[in-house]
Amino acid sequence: MLDIKFVRQNPDKVRENIRKKFQDHKLALVDSALDLDERHRAALRRAEELKSERNRVSKEIGALMAAGRREEAEDAKKRVVSAADELASLEAQTGELSAKLRECMMQIPNIIDESVPLGRDDSENVELKRFGEPLTPDFEIPYHVEIMERFSGIDLDSARATSGSGFYYLRGDIARLHSAVLSYARDFMIDRGFTYYIPPFMIRGSVVTGVMSFAEMENMMYKIEGEDLYLIGTSEHSMIGKFIDTLLDERDLPQALTSYSPCFRKEVGAHGIEERGVYRIHQFEKQEMVVLCRPEESPAWFEKMLANTIDFFRTLDIPVRALECCSGDLADLKVKSVDVEAWSPRQKKYFEVGSCSNLGDAQARRLGIRVRGAGGNTHPHTLNNTVTAPPRMLIAFLENNLRPDGSVAIPSALRPYMGGKEQLIIDN
């Protein structure tokens, strides 16, 4: 959420930013926000005038009574009562205007970074760099579910019977591999100086609206019926929410956190839920990284966080590339975002396995997170990035480490988490 002072002083810049995101239907929000802001400030000014007048007249009443000027004193009392009535009306008015202004401001997109390429949608995202050689073996790579089934490692039919499409049972070596990847990701991030957390898996509505846009909320979040609780779509929601309505000392920054959680998503939209695979599903697990930092430090943290994910995948012999999201593909709260995509030898193309995002001070403003420094109170910047999110990550792992005989190589970094195993072998 932008600062209304910024919108007031830079309306043309805000409008231009909306155009860059190809959201012309939101241009009217700028005028609405400015109008609501002016009316709100005018109501506040009038309230202050009335309070000052009421205090002045109240003092006069005593003097008038003492001087025996009762009729004038009674007239003064009527003015005090009238002022009190108008003040009560103004308080209701300012509260309503404030709520409408906040709702309007929460729909205006954040100002994107100057480095973000312009484009309407994800088809215009820009490849930045590749890491590792994207090889295609001279043998056929089966569909990822088929690979898992060879190891008796997945049961989609039973999951459909218990829960519906978009769920799965993992078992045996595939289930162990899933857990091993998460455990390795946890230690990988701890070794890089991040503090490990397991957060709440449900959050209140006030946190949901603080960390994401209304559109994302509708398309992603599951609400607990009859309660002000939502299942998280990523642990970023809980981790940023941890600081709601707090005043941090500047010396407490940066906060570099890594968190594990299950994630629950409706996955409403054009992609839909896969009937057979585990690429787009309702439930998965993830290791996340979250940073709160000084505004001037967020670009450097962004690069550091992105490098962490790339390094993690490369230690597991998975080629990846960094793909910068264009202006039209950025969620409204994001200043800048780069997707990490893993190579799929079967499809002979890259697919998304994580996303690194800088949200500027948007989440901090929405959640009331402030930092006390020598120059006064400010809002920190918040950033998040996926370390790994199996089972989607397992697709890339299995395809890139599959051998011609059907076995799967276990890279050395992962072997301690797999009981020392160097490979997975199909049990005939």
56 is known as an active-site residue: no
314 is known as an active-site residue: no
> Which of the residues 103, 352, 372, 415 is marked catalytic?
352
In angstroms, the CA 45 to CA 25 distance is: 32
Beta-strand (E) ranges in 73-125?
A: none
Give the DSSP per-residue string, 140-191: PPPPHHHHHHHTT-EEHHHHHHHT-TT--EE-HHHHHHHHHHHHHHHHHHHH
392 is known as an active-site residue: yes
In angstroms, the CA 106 to CA 298 distance is: 22
> Which of the residues 15, 265, 365, 370 is marked catalytic?
265
Residue 343's closest CA among 128, 135, 122, 144?
135
Burial 59-95, CB ≥16 within 10 A → b, else e: ebbeebeeeeeeeebeebeeebeebeeeeeebeebbe
265 is known as an active-site residue: yes
User: What end-to-end distance do the CA atoms of the chain give, in Å?
Assistant: 58
71 is known as an active-site residue: no
Assign 228 to helix, strand or coil: coil
> Which of the residues 261, 355, 357, 399 is marked catalytic?
355
Q: Are strands 230-231 and 247-249 parallel, antiparallel or unpaired?
A: unpaired
> Which of the residues 46, 130, 204, 280 is marked catalytic?
280
Residue 175's closest CA among 43, 34, 329, 285?
285
The residues annotated with a catalytic role in the active site are: 265, 280, 352, 355, 392
